[in-house]
Amino acid sequence: MLITIANLFNDDEVAALRSALEALPWQDGSRTAGSLGRSVKHNRQADEHAAQAAGIVGSVLQRLEATPRFVAAALPRLIYPPRFNRYGVGETYGAHVDGALMRLPGTGTLFRSDLSATLFLSPPEAYDGGVLEIDTCFGVQEVKLAAGDLVLYPASSLHQVTPVTRGERLASFFWIQSLVRDTDVRTALLDLDDAIQALTRERAPTDPVLLSLTGVYHNLLRHHAET
């Protein structure tokens, strides 16, 4: 299931992120691809080791952790430090599946990608092509969001970024290891959380139905969470 989170960053914040990113050194994106991805990955990627990168990565992580909708949807246990890519005219990332296991930079901790995320940093009118196409059980979903919007999708999905034919597409991408590994269970928990949030707006905190559903949510999470 695809989940979009609008306005993770507002226009001013996106502009600030973009100008900070412009100052970073950019490298061939195939550098960090796996053996299969390397042949289809044609883009550029910010050098994550550059001294100025840490602040930008930190500001994205901080915003994610402070966004209730992101936390409810992803139930993050670990977030892979966000990376940044850009696609100019003719650049593309052909069909691939993201690696299942990676080492977290710095600590070397083994990390499992449950969710993939793309944060769009270019307004859609600034480029043609550059569509994120994700294979889902309902067919291919085309994703091209406003600057500052985020999409989350199962990391198991086959996906690609179509060639940019005009302008430039700047984005951040990263992965999440979730407390709840199973996509269906995680999705059901999000649906339940949404219903509870809607009830919370209408009912008193002592309402027995609200209390009961909140209990069900936490007991399901307790049952399924891997810490």
Helical segments of 35-104, H only: 53-65, 68-74
Angle at 180 between CA 119 and CA 147, to 5 degrees: 10
Residue 86 pairs in a beta bridge with: 44, 170
Choose one: 17-25, 54-62, 98-106, 181-189; the region binding Ni ion (CB under 5 A): 98-106
Position with the least CB separation from Ni ion:
98
Stretch touching Ni ion by CB under 5 A, among 72-80, 94-102, 178-186, 201-209: 94-102
Question: Total number of residues binding Ni ion (CB under 5 A)?
Answer: 1
Q: Is 149 in the site for Ni ion (CB under 5 A)?
A: no
- For Ni ion, the closer CB: 98 or 114: 98
Q: Which stretch binds Ni ion (CB under 5 A): 6-14, 90-98, 191-199, 204-212?
A: 90-98
Select the span of 5-13, 97-105, 135-143, 178-186 touching Ni ion (CB under 5 A). 97-105
Tabulate helix, strand, coil % of the chain (nearest 5). Answer: 35, 30, 35
Among 43, 74, 98, 170, contact with Ni ion (rule: CB under 5 A): 98
Pick 91 or 98: Cβ nearer Ni ion? 98
Nearest to 83 by CA among 123, 43, 128, 118: 118
> What are the CA-CA distances from residue 131 to residues 56, 92, 93, 108, 211 (Å)?
24, 9, 10, 33, 43
Of 9 and 173, the one with the shorter C-beta distance to Ni ion is: 173
Burial of residue 101 (number of CB atoms within 10 Å: 0-12, 13-18, 19+): exposed
Residue 34 vs 215, nearer CB to Ni ion = 34
Contact set with Ni ion (CB under 5 A): 98
